[in-house]
């Protein structure tokens, strides 16, 4: 807990040591499985967050600019429907698109508080500082934490909470955990609250694969950055350049998978865990999935989580959708 001056910004930081412990647990769990795997939240150290911002500007990465255009078109309607005075944002990152929602709330005269939640402390503090300058009178109450573990630490919802989870990040959960996660969110909305979800939609696999494997190699660098995190935080000795970036669309499961493939045999030690990990030549480590949705898949997920669709906004080409949901 760290209340700060009277700048309008309060940031609660619940990570530090606890976070390093989950990194260690996740690495021990994930790297000793038959199909090696790491959860995506460990991508986002300061450099990882910067690389992700660069991905959002890439010509191939259509989700960010498509979602922004959708929000530009529907933000006023969403604010009118929900009467939102408080915006909670999960995985807020640099909060660029968030401004569209905050501006619509300010224009409607309802804007009171913004509550960003992110594991990346640097990104959260920087965006909080900017936003209180841009929106006079705005209070920011940030939570540097893990949205899978720390939502119990959010301030109590007021009657007009709008919780948003943009960028298609909901797609980074596998289907079972996704529904459990959504059920948890429904409980944090309060009786009159709403959830705004950005979901990437099923489309031409080649277009999806290009978005996760850009020509400039920024996504590859972002993917490999997780190995640098392990080297720094756990003293591992990954030869980062010995791993290549792989992205492919699984047409049956309708998700894109990111992997790191060992170019040759690798032996990696992780002293903090007294662990030695072998990679056979071409063996792959899965670092992320990103599920692509249809409207009916999302409706089924929401129903399973005790919510229903209250609005569905999409671009002309139906590449991406912004879904408004409310508890039933």
> Which of ligand SAH, ligand TRP, none does residue 212 bind (CB under 5 to 8 Å by kind)?
ligand TRP
Binding mask 143-172 for ligand SAH (x = CB under 6 A): ---xxx-----------------xx-x---
160 in contact with ligand TRP (CB under 6 A)? no
Closest by CA to 67, choosing from 205, 196, 211, 198, is: 198
d(CA 318, CA 313) in angstroms, rounded, equals 9
The residues, ordered by sequence, that sit 6+ positions from 176 with a Cβ below 8 Å of its Cβ are none
Among 93, 142, 167, 198, binds ligand TRP (CB under 6 A): 167
User: Quick one: 81 exposed, middle or buried, by C-beta within 10 A (0-12, 13-18, 19+)?
Assistant: middle
User: Quick one: 122 exposed, middle or buried, by C-beta within 10 A (0-12, 13-18, 19+)?
Assistant: middle
> Which of ligand TRP, ligand SAH, none does residue 146 bind (CB under 5 to 8 Å by kind)?
ligand SAH
Contact 105, 88 (CB under 8 A): no
**Residues in region 232-251 near ligand SAH by CB under 6 A:** none
Q: Give 120 or 160: the residue with its C-beta nearer to ligand SAH.
A: 120
How many residues in the shown chain lie near ligand SAH by CB under 6 A? Answer: 21
Contact 194, 326 (CB under 8 A): yes
Please give the structure tokens belonging to residue 154. 């959010």
d(CA 54, CA 218) in angstroms, rounded, equals 7
Binding mask 62-91 for ligand SAH (x = CB under 6 A): --x--------------------------x
Contact 262, 214 (CB under 8 A): no
Q: Give 55 or 90: the residue with its C-beta nearer to ligand TRP.
A: 55
> Which of ligand TRP, ligand SAH, none does residue 118 bind (CB under 5 to 8 Å by kind)?
ligand SAH
Q: Give 41 or 326: the residue with its C-beta nearer to ligand SAH.
A: 41
Return residues touching ligand SAH (CB under 6 A). Answer: 41, 44, 49, 52, 56, 64, 91-93, 97, 117-120, 123, 146-148, 166-167, 169
């Amino acid at each position: 807990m760290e209340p700060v001056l009277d700048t309008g910004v309060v940031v609660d930081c619940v990570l530090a040591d606890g976070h390093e412990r989950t990194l260690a647990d996740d690495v021990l769990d994930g790297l000793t499985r038959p199909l090696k795997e790491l959860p995506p939240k460990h991508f986002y150290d300061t450099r990882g967050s910067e690389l992700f911002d660069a991905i959002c500007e890439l010509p191939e990465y259509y989700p960010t600019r498509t979602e922004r255009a959708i929000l530009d078109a529907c933000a006023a309607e969403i604010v009118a429907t929900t009467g939102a005075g408080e915006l909670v944002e999960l995985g807020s990152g640099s909060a660029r698109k968030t401004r569209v929602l905050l501006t619509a709330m300010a224009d409607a005269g309802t804007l009171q508080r913004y509550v960003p939640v992110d594991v990346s402390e640097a990104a959260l503090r920087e965006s909080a500082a900017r936003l209180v300058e841009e929106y006079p009178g705005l209070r920011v109450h940030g939570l540097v934490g893990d949205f899978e573990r720390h939502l119990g630490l959010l301030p109590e919802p007021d009657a007009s909470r709008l919780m948003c989870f943009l960028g298609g990040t909901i797609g980074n959960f596998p289907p079972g955990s996704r529904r459990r996660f959504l059920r948890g969110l429904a409980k944090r909305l309060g009786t009159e609250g709403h959830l705004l979800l950005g979901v990437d939609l099923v489309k031409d696999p080649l277009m999806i694969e290009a978005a996760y494997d850009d020509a400039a190699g920024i996504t590859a660098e972002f993917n490999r950055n997780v190995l640098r995190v392990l080297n720094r935080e756990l003293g591992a000795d990954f030869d980062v350049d010995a791993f290549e970036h792989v992205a492919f669309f699984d047409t049956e499961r309708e998700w894109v998978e990111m992997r790191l493939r060992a170019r040759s045999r690798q032996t990696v030690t992780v002293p903090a865990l007294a662990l030695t990990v072998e990679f056979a030549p071409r063996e792959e480590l899965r670092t992320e999935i990103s599920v692509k949705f249809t409207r009916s898949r999302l409706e089924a997920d929401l129903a399973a989580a005790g919510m229903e669709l209250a609005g569905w906004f999409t671009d002309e080409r139906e590449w991406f959708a912004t879904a408004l949901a409310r508890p039933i």
